[in-house]
A and B are shown apart, each in its own frame.
Chain A
Amino acid sequence: MDVSQYLEIFIDETKEHLQNLNDCILTLEQEPDNMDTVNEIFRAAHSLKGMAGTMGYKRMQKLTHDMENVFQEVRSGNKAVSAPLIDIVFDCLDALESYLDNIQNSADEGTDDNQAIIDRLNQILSGEEAADSTGGQEEAAQETEAGQKSEEGSGDAGKEKFLDVVLNEEEKKEFQDQIAKGLQIIGVTVYVEEGCLLKAARAFIVFKSVEEIGEIIKFSPSSNDIEDEKFDNYFSFFLAVKDTDNLEGTIEKITTTAKNVSEIADAFAAKIPESMYAAGIENPEEASNEASKDSASAKQGTAVSVQEKKKNGNAPAANNGNKPAKKNTGKQGSGKPVVSRTVRVDIEKLDALMNQVSELIIAKNSLVSISNVDGGGQSQGFHDQIEYLERITTNIHESVMKVRMVPIESVVNKYPRMIRDLTKKLDKKMELYMTGEDTELDRTVVDEIGDPLQHLLRNSADHGLEPNDVRVEKGKPEVGSIHLDAFQEGNNVIIEVSDDGNGIDTESVKNKAIERGIISEEQAEAMSQKEIIDLLFLPSFSMAKKITDVSGRGVGLDVVKSKIESLGGDVEVKSVLGEGSKFTIRLPLTLAIIQALMVTIRDEKYAIALGSIQTIEDVPKEDIKSVEAKEVIHLRGMVIPIIRMDKILDIPPKEEEDSNLTVVIVHKGENFAGLVIDQLIGQQEIVIKSLGKYIENNKIISGATILGDGEVALIIDVNALI
């Protein structure tokens, strides 16, 4: 089967399952008795195994299978959740992730068998064998029991449906021939899971895999019926195998092989009693005797299945009843959202759509500007339609943007696991608290913020939080806490990473900077706290006292900063020595189209993102005061620095200053500034275009946009000014 077309889906779904497993196991570590979680884990592991198997990733399948076995034990209560178990399972997940990485890169799972992990999983399991024989595992117990009984020619376990199969004379003959050839005939009954969609396919895979062990000489129902899915939840077949001393082993091998196929609930196999194929004996009677309590073992397969279903009411029903219940509670327990109907769309298609919407907005803006220029010339209807068009394009834009938005959850939900690992690695107790995982950002941004956030969290864990004993000495709670909070603020999304650790020691940063020759001592004296903290963002400025595995390899906060800036955002740090630090990442909600205020400075037009504008003020010239050689204004109790835009933008100053200045008050977080401009044009929706990579400027201009009349206006990056 060519499965390459499913590769993407496989990768996506495997990622989801792995994430789910990670989450669940973290929960399990906290609440080892949470059976809902155990069931959820089992279910995820099982699906994962099935998917890997279908795609032909044998190693991945094997590993998941062994992991699933462990949880099977946990689920049936034979094995308690212990710290080593959790550790192994986490290692197992990591191994699976590396398989997935390989698959993503090369469509091949790689050659690492991860035998060490498998061995450890099996160790956990084997520690279990004793408990097993005490009859804890119902199914296994039943299986052995059934096996023994069938040897004696009795099938009262009732699960070995093959015993009810009626052979005709010809088949009996063939069976006898096989026996004569020195082969043994094993009867096998395989149960598929409830709700299995491709029963026939599963059956086929079972046949395929057991054929390595022996030859299938009879199907029940017939192979055609199986192919057409004309069977209930089980099917039987007879296998001719070599008669060896270790027949038990062979039988065992058959059942495990069958059970390894995904969506197979169970499999039973045993050597069939001679009476089944003994010539000349009236079969129904025999069979009914053999299956002792099976009073009405019928002549036809269908009848049998109905009968059997009733008869088996006890054992399998307990099983089957288990499953739906498990699913329900599993869902409630893990708080998994109800799955909404979705379509997977290639991001490139969305980008193309986005570009077209941009073009549409430019065209619309041209129309608007034409209608404004020609003024009263047109009819009222024309203006109405223009307005209508404007509304529609705005809505289309919003819809397209929304389509591209994804919750940051997909990125941040791997962090609890990371913090857990760091707890062990650094030997520091810490907790991660996250809020706002459902905050949405443009897909391209979400894809990129993972690393910077991870870096900040590691930073907090490694440098921020003090060792536990130090914390206790200081009277802080022993367990350090790290917070990751995301929320929307205007046109921005804010992500804060904070910890209650020691904060940034500005003195030692200062000394280090002097030591490294980054600043001189005089400079250091004059620097504000904030300026000193900003030094941390300089390339290769690592504060780690000792280089650890976790952080401090010289790739530091500068990487975080440049990454965030490349996404059009910025990073800010606040820190109080002894109390902790907080990194605030500000990211633009949308990347391509924004609402902007258009202004003129002399004859040049500029756009300022509306999201960063607080107010627009008309300030008399006299109100501008000078503080420390910087111009400021007092506005509603705040001192706001004034930025003369003409000066910043290299525009020759006016010969005579106006008596009133138009000042646009902009903000970045809690910092404000007043931009002095000449005139306001108005609010407009603008499409952000890049200036290309050839032009360098000092970041004041974040891009350009094309106005309705075809002219290019530049977008002022407020964040770079403040």
Chain B
Amino acid sequence: MAANQIVESGTRQFIVVKIGAEQFGIDINYIDNIVRMQKITRIPKAQHYFKGVINLRGEVVPVMSIRLKMGLEDDEFTNVTRIIIVKIEPQEALGIIVDEVKEVVTLEQSEIERVVKDSREEKSSFINGIGKHNGELISLFDLNSIIVDNA
């Protein structure tokens, strides 16, 4: 995996986003783009956490509500709502709606704590690490588990 290959320098970069009151980190290697909220075309009969699709420079990209996926309340779109376009697999872009994009952080390997997945809590199954940065905790998304259809 691309992310793990950077271990040589011992550091990984994450984009820190806010979902509700919590901060999450998305590995920067997976991120293709960050776009503003735009019109999402609803897809009937799709999984409930898929808001629909958007037009990203001529490509149709599905957009997922990570809130709904994690079993949180539905998104409320504001001025700072963004869609993070990630490419976990080549040629398969996916948009993830976040409440706000905060910053890019660089974490030392020592600042990342692995977490054991707890299947009882839905939210935690998408997290594979906790990063500590400036005294704050950042939950690090496991993107591969996000694309797994568990609904």
Q: Which residues of B contact A302 (CB under 8 A)?
A: none
What separation, in Å, do the CA atoms of A651 and B43 have in the docked complex? Answer: 11
Are A362 and B42 neighbours in the complex by a CB distance under 8 Å?
Answer: no
From A17-25, A307-315, A418-426, A684-692, the one touching the partner chain is A684-692
B39 to chain A, nearest CB (A): 6
* Cβ B50 vs Cβ A700 within 8 A: no
In the complex, whether A698 has a CB less than 8 A from a CB of chain B is yes
CB-defined interface of A685-708 with B at 8 Å, one 1/0 digit per residue? 000011111111110110111100
Bound Cα distance A706, B52 (Å): 14
Q: Is the CB of B41 within 8 A of A649?
A: no
Which among A99-107, A142-150, A199-207, A711-719 touches the partner chain? A711-719
Question: Is there contact, CB below 8 Å, between B94 and A694?
Answer: yes
Q: Which residues of A contact B43 (CB under 8 A)?
A: 691, 695, 697, 701, 714
B59 at the binding interface (Cβ < 8 Å): yes
Interface residues in B57-108 by Cβ distance below 8 A to A read: 58-62, 64, 92-94
Asked whether B135 is an interface residue with its Cβ less than 8 Å from the other chain, the reply is: no
B5-41 vs A, CB cutoff 8 Å, 1 = contact: the mask equals: 0000000000000000000000000000000000101
Residues of A near B54 (CB, < 8 A) are 712
Min distance, Cβ B74 to any Cβ of chain A, angstroms: 16
A684 smallest CB distance to B (angstroms): 16
A648 near B55 with CB under 8 A, answer: no
How far is the CB of A265 from the nearest CB of chain B, in Å? 54
Which residues in A have their C-beta under 8 angstroms from that of B130? none
Query: Residue-by-residue, is A389-432 near B (CB-CB < 8 Å gives 1, otherwise 0)?
Result: 00000000000000000000000000000000000000000000
Contact between A696 and B61, CB atoms less than 8 A apart: no
Q: Please, which residue of chain B has its CB at the minimum distance from the CB of A706?
A: B55
- Does A658 lie at the interface of the complex (its beta carbon under 8 Å from any beta carbon of B)? no
Alpha-carbon distance A278/B93, docked complex (angstroms): 87
**With contact pairs A648-B44, A650-B45, A710-B55 given, residues A693 and B149 touching in the complex (Cβ less than 8 Å):** no
Structural contact, A698 and B41, CB atoms closer than 8 A: no
When the two chains form the complex, which single residue of A359, A362, A695, A705 contacts B50, counting CB atoms closer than 8 Å? A695
- Residues of chain B contacted by A128 (CB below 8 angstroms): none
Interface contact A692-B46, CB-CB below 8 Å: no
B50 adjacent to A712 (CB under 8 Å): no
Inter-subunit contact A691/B64 (CB<8 Å): no
Interface residue from A695, A705, A710 paired with B47 (Cβ < 8 Å): A695
Q: What are the residues of chain A within 8 A of B58 when measuring CB–CB?
A: 359, 362, 706
Chain A residues near B44: list those with CB within 8 A. Answer: 648-651, 697, 700-701, 714
Cβ-defined contact, B41 with A712, below 8 A: yes
A228 touches B (CB below 8 Å): no
A711 to B45, CA, bound (A): 20
C-alpha gap A692/B46 in the complex (Å): 12
With A710-B55, A712-B54: A692-B45 Cβ-Cβ less than 8 Å = no
- B50 (CB) vs chain A CBs: closest residue: A695
A359, A690, A694, A713: the one contacting B41 at CB < 8 Å is: A713
Which residues from chain B contact A651 at a C-beta distance below 8 Å?
A: 44
Q: Which of B39, B93, B149 contacts A692 (CB 8 A)?
A: B93
Shortest CB distance B121–A (Å): 23
- A695 lies within 8 A of B41 (CB): no
Q: Which residues of the other chain, B, contact A695 by a CB distance below 8 angstroms?
A: 43, 46-47, 50, 53, 62
Q: Which residues of A contact B115 (CB under 8 A)?
A: none
A362 contacts across to B, CB distance below 8 A: 58
Residue among A691, A695, A706, A711 with the highest chain B CB neighbour number at 10 A: A695
Complex CA gap A436/B79 in Å reads 59
Chain B nearest CB from A710 CB (Å) reads 5
Distance to closest chain B CB from A114 (angstroms): 42
* A704-B53 in contact given A689-B59, A690-B60 (Cβ < 8 Å): yes
Q: Please, which residue of chain A has its CB at the minimum distance from the CB of B64?
A: A694
Contact A604 B42 (CB under 8 A): yes
In the complex, A714 Cα to B52 Cα: how many Å?
10
The reply to whether A694 and B50 form a contact with Cβ atoms under 8 Å apart is: yes
Q: Are A692 and B62 within 8 A (Cβ)?
A: yes
- B54 nearest in chain A by CB position: A712
Minimum C-beta distance from A502 to chain B (A)? 40
Q: How far is the CB of A179 from chain B (nearest CB, A)?
A: 73
B51 to chain A, nearest CB (A): 10
Within 8 A of B (CB), among A354-398: 359, 362
**Alpha-carbon separation in the docked complex, A695 to B92 (Å):** 11
Bound-complex Cα distance A648 to B62 (A): 21
CA distance A713 to B42 in the complex (A): 9
* Residues in A whose Cβ lies below 8 Å from that of B42: 604
Digit string of B114-149 for contact with A (CB within 8 Å is 1, else 0)? 000000000000000000000000000000000101
Shortest CB-to-CB span from B105 to chain A, Å, is: 27
Contact with B along A662-698 (1 / 0, CB 8 A): 0000000000000000000000000001111111111
Known A-B contacts A604-B42, A697-B44; the reply to A692 vs B55 at CB < 8 A is: no
Contact B62 A694 (CB under 8 A): yes
Chain B residue contacts of A359, Cβ below 8 A: 58
Assembled-state Cα–Cα distance A698/B47 (Å): 10
Separation of A260 and B62 alpha carbons in the complex (Å):
62
1/0 per residue, CB under 8 A from B, across A640-656: the answer is: 00000000111100000
From B45, B62, B93, A698 is in contact (CB under 8 Å) with: B45
B88 to chain A, nearest CB (A): 9
Contacts of A712 in B (CB 8 A): 41, 52-55, 60
Nearest chain B CB to A677 CB, angstrom units: 14
**Nearest CB of B to A510, in Å:** 31
Task: Bits for A522-546, please: 1 = Cβ < 8 Å to B, else 0.
Answer: 0000000000000000000000000
Chain B residues within 8 Å of A691, by CB: 43, 53, 60, 62
> Cβ of B41 and Cβ of A704 under 8 Å apart?
yes
B52: which A residues are within 8 A, CB to CB? 712
Q: Judging by beta carbons under 8 Å apart, are B41 and A696 in contact?
A: no
Give every chain B residue within 8 A of A604 (Cβ-Cβ).
Answer: 41-42
Q: Kindly list chain A residues whose C-beta atoms are within 8 Å of the C-beta of B92.
A: 692-694
For the complex, give the distance between the alpha carbons of A705 and B55 in Å. 9
Are A692's CB and B61's CB within 8 A? yes
- The distance from the CB of A385 to the nearest CB of chain B, in whole angstroms, is 23
Query: In the complex the two chains form, what is the Cα distance from A604 to B47 in whole Å?
Result: 19
Chain A residues with CB under 8 A of B64: 694
Complex Cα spacing A285 to B53, Å:
95
On chain B, the residues within 8 Å of A697 by CB distance are 43-46
In the bound complex, how far is the Cα of B60 from the Cα of A711, in angstroms? 10
User: Using Cβ atoms and an 8 Å threshold, which residues of chain B touch A711?
Assistant: 39, 41, 55
Complex A-B: 25 CB contacts under 8 Å? A359-B58, A650-B45, A689-B59, A691-B60, A692-B62, A692-B92, A692-B94, A694-B92, A694-B149, A695-B53, A696-B46, A696-B47, A696-B149, A697-B43, A697-B45, A701-B43, A701-B44, A705-B60, A710-B55, A711-B39, A711-B41, A711-B55, A712-B54, A713-B41, A714-B44
Smallest CB-CB A-B distances: 9 pairs: A712-B41, A697-B45, A689-B60, A649-B44, A704-B60, A697-B46, A695-B62, A650-B44, A698-B45
Known: A689-B59, A706-B60. 19 other contacts (CB 8 A): A648-B44, A649-B45, A650-B45, A691-B53, A691-B62, A694-B64, A694-B149, A696-B46, A697-B43, A697-B44, A701-B43, A701-B45, A704-B53, A705-B60, A706-B55, A710-B55, A711-B41, A711-B55, A712-B53
